[in-house]
Amino acid sequence: MTKRGMETILITGGNGFTGRHACRYFASQGYHVVSVVRRIGEEDHGVQLERCELTNAIETSNLIQRLKPSYVLHLAGQSNADESWIHPVRYMESNVMATVFLLEAIRKHAPSCKVVVTGTILQYPVKENSLPPHPYSLSKTLQIFASKSWASYYDLDLVIAKPTNLIGPGPSTGVCSILAKRVAEFEKTGVNDILTHMDLEAERVFLDVRDAVSAYHELFFMGEKGREYDVSFGTTASIGDVATILSSMAALPFDVPEEKRKGIPLQPANGSQELKSTCTFTLEESLRDTLQYFRNL
């Protein structure tokens, strides 16, 4: 039930890594949060849970018709590039068609709803004579192209958020989470495979997922219809830097080869110039919370 006077935000993929943080954040901001999930599990963040298979056009249409949300944050989708080579159709269905079904339902049943669709930095610049590097990237590229087209054809109040590598506590499969999980296991078992198959010199821009969620909130109000916005403020660091920070927090010592560290202080990344949102979590704070999440699992 919608509480009196509260605006409804519908968050797809509400039990995913970003979704869990988004549900908590928007609830704390006074919204009535509806978390849309494929299967209702044990998690409950004090929000309304709705089961919906978004790859089913009718289920999605019924959901939007019934709830008529004022805001939709579309986070749901598949995001594993390796897996996408094996199951490319699943990626087209989950990332492209589910988004099309959602936007079509919004056009019909909630046409003044504000929408943020989340792309990714792995989304490919769309060009003639060049193709995305894998089916996951293809699916994100087509998702965003179709979203922008729907926004243009049907005058939807929609913007695209293109986040960088999001980090923080929760069920992420990103490199920081893999490292933090290995450190937590090392603390429990003494088995050190922390740096196995890690490209320590590779640099990334890391942004705390909680700061990304604040930026999505901002985009509902400042975004220009149909445009893409980089959500890429954060901290530039190498995987070696991340490992070095985690080693300083670990209960058992482990070594990171000195030549693999780029060195601290780390560089703040250039974000979108239009966004006012900034980092409120340092990389160290994000990694401490991530490590603690895996220690508590």
Rounded to whole angstroms, the Cα distance separating 115 from 138 reads 22
Stretch that binds a second copy, among 12-20, 99-107, 252-260, 287-295 (CB under 8 A): 99-107
Q: How far is CA 116 from CA 21, 58, 74, 121, 122, in A?
A: 16, 21, 6, 16, 17
Tell me which residue of 117, 195, 187, 107 sits closest to 154, measured CA to CA. Answer: 107
| CB-based contact 264:196 (threshold 8 Å) | no
Rounded to whole angstroms, the Cα distance separating 250 from 242 reads 12
Rounded to whole angstroms, the Cα distance separating 66 from 183 reads 46
CB atoms within 10 A of CB 23: 27
Give least dist CB 177 to a second copy, A. Answer: 28
**What is the dihedral sign for C-alpha 122, 125, 126, 127?**
negative
Site for a second copy in 1-60 (CB under 8 A): 57
Stretch that binds a second copy, among 21-29, 149-157, 190-198, 245-253 (CB under 8 A): 149-157
One residue of 40, 58, 86, 126 binding a second copy per CB under 8 A: 126
Kindly state whether residue 128 participates in binding a second copy, applying the rule CB under 8 A.
Answer: yes
Give least dist CB 259 to a second copy, A. Answer: 37
Rounded to whole angstroms, the Cα distance separating 215 from 229 reads 10
Kindly state whether residue 76 participates in binding a second copy, applying the rule CB under 8 A.
Answer: no
Q: How many chain residues bind a second copy (CB under 8 A)?
A: 29
Give least dist CB 229 to a second copy, A. Answer: 14
Kindly state whether residue 63 participates in binding a second copy, applying the rule CB under 8 A.
Answer: no
Kindly state whether residue 89 participates in binding a second copy, applying the rule CB under 8 A.
Answer: yes
Stretch that binds a second copy, among 20-28, 146-154, 166-174, 263-271 (CB under 8 A): 146-154
Kindly state whether residue 88 participates in binding a second copy, applying the rule CB under 8 A.
Answer: yes
Give least dist CB 107 to a second copy, A. Answer: 9
User: Which residue matches tokens 């700061």?
Assistant: 211
DSSP code of residue 95: I
One residue of 148, 182, 210, 288 binding a second copy per CB under 8 A: 148
| CB-based contact 35:23 (threshold 8 Å) | yes
Kindly state whether residue 268 participates in binding a second copy, applying the rule CB under 8 A.
Answer: no
Kindly state whether residue 272 participates in binding a second copy, applying the rule CB under 8 A.
Answer: no
Rounded to whole angstroms, the Cα distance separating 145 from 119 reads 10
Kindly state whether residue 86 participates in binding a second copy, applying the rule CB under 8 A.
Answer: no
Kindly state whether residue 153 participates in binding a second copy, applying the rule CB under 8 A.
Answer: yes
Binding site for a second copy (CB under 8 A): 57, 85, 88-89, 92-93, 96-97, 100-101, 104, 125-128, 131-132, 134-135, 138, 141-142, 145-146, 148-150, 152-153
